[in-house]
Amino acid sequence: METANSLKKTLRQKILQKRDSLSQREVIEKSVLIMQAFTSSTTYRKAKTILFYFPKGKEVNTEPMLRHAMKTGKTVALPVTDPATKTLQLYVVADPDADLTIGAYGIKEPLPKK
């Protein structure tokens, strides 16, 4: 009998396999549709601050959404991962071209604050 954890792990593997089987064109098309739905939502329009992540592999490309949010005056935050403690710290980003670097797991994240 499978436990809840093993069922969750199996489901996660199936979903990741399905996502990873998408072509780059499909990823782009689906990312555009997600952005359109996201930016037209009431929740997005009312939000003052939005937490984003930078994609890895064939995840939804959030960068256009992040830039749209900044362009429309929203505060944008991104996580910085600390693999040692398995925690996230959130940082506001003013300029994604200057404020980001490749961090843990090869994912763009804000530069460490000094």
Kindly list the distances between the CA atom of residue 34 and the CA atoms of 3, 30, 68, 91, in Å, as whole numbers in the listed order: 33, 6, 13, 24
CATH number for the domain formed by residue range(s) 21-110: 3.40.50.10420
Q: Does the pLDDT at position 99 exceed 60?
A: yes
What are the tokens at 21? 């089987």
Mean pLDDT for 102-108 is 88
Please give the Cα distance from 76 to 51 (Å, whole number).
6
Domain ranges in the chain?
21-110
Helices of type H across 21-62: 24-39, 42-46
10 Å Cβ neighbour count for 35?
A: 17
Residue keyed to tokens 């969750």 = 8
Q: What is the mean pLDDT of residues 12-37?
A: 94
The pLDDT of residue 20 is above 70: yes
The whole-number pLDDT of residue 45 equals 95
pLDDT tens digits along 25-43:
999 999 999 999 999 999 9
